[in-house]
Chains A and B, each alone.
Chain A
């Protein structure tokens, strides 16, 4: 069964350092989402891509976060510099198309701890 791949699964970094997360969506899925999930909360959208284009990055803290999906396949989310409040689970999800966003497939996530 096809799955969304994410790496690394865990990351510990010191504040002010740079950190990057990678996501490979299910093959053929045009829409890719990055979410942040704080313990005990629901996922919150950071950025949404349609192919290689950003559709929605209104909740992305652009002073420190960046995301790209250069060839419309895999994607990278970067934080620079990391802050203590960035400690969370970062989830990547994909859907076949924007119209299928009600059914998203999530990867296992990257748990980030900033010390």
Chain B
């Protein structure tokens, strides 16, 4: 079977750093994407890792270790507007090129 595991909830305060982990078990693997979804909104693309290592985009960074089937999203200098759900998603080559999403992590940022 195919599965993606990520924590259901994370809480933090403004200005802090938070890491959202994602472990995956899929029959094939092209890469790991991260999406953000605010309540009632559409998922929006944040980052993508196809190779091992860290990708940095402003306050957000994403990491991948293919050998460990593990990745994480790192959010720095947290702001209230970062309160949202964050999904990791895998491209599984045996399922075509569509994405398989995790169940999501709800991040709550307080002041």
Q: Do A and B bind each other?
A: yes
Q: Could you tell me how many residues of chain B have their Cβ less than 8 Å away from some Cβ of chain A?
A: 24
- The bracket for how many chain A residues form the interface is 20 to 34
Asked whether B96 is an interface residue with its Cβ less than 8 Å from the other chain, the reply is: yes
Per the 8 Å Cβ criterion, residues 77-111 of B in contact with A are 87, 89, 91, 95-104
Question: How many inter-chain contacts with C-beta < 8 Å in the A-B complex?
Answer: 63
Does A103 contact B33, Cβ atoms closer than 8 Å?
A: yes
Give complex CA distance A63, B98 in Å: 22
Residue in A closest to B30 when the chains form the complex, CB atoms: A102
Using Cβ atoms and an 8 Å threshold, which residues of chain A touch B31?
Answer: 102
Does B45 contact A101, Cβ atoms closer than 8 Å?
A: no
Asked whether B43 is an interface residue with its Cβ less than 8 Å from the other chain, the reply is: yes
Instruction: Find A43's partner among B4, B30, B44, B101 (CB 8 Å cutoff).
Output: B101
Asked whether A67 is an interface residue with its Cβ less than 8 Å from the other chain, the reply is: no
Does B99 contact A104, Cβ atoms closer than 8 Å?
A: yes
For residue B1, give the distance in angstroms from its CB to the closest CB of chain A: 14
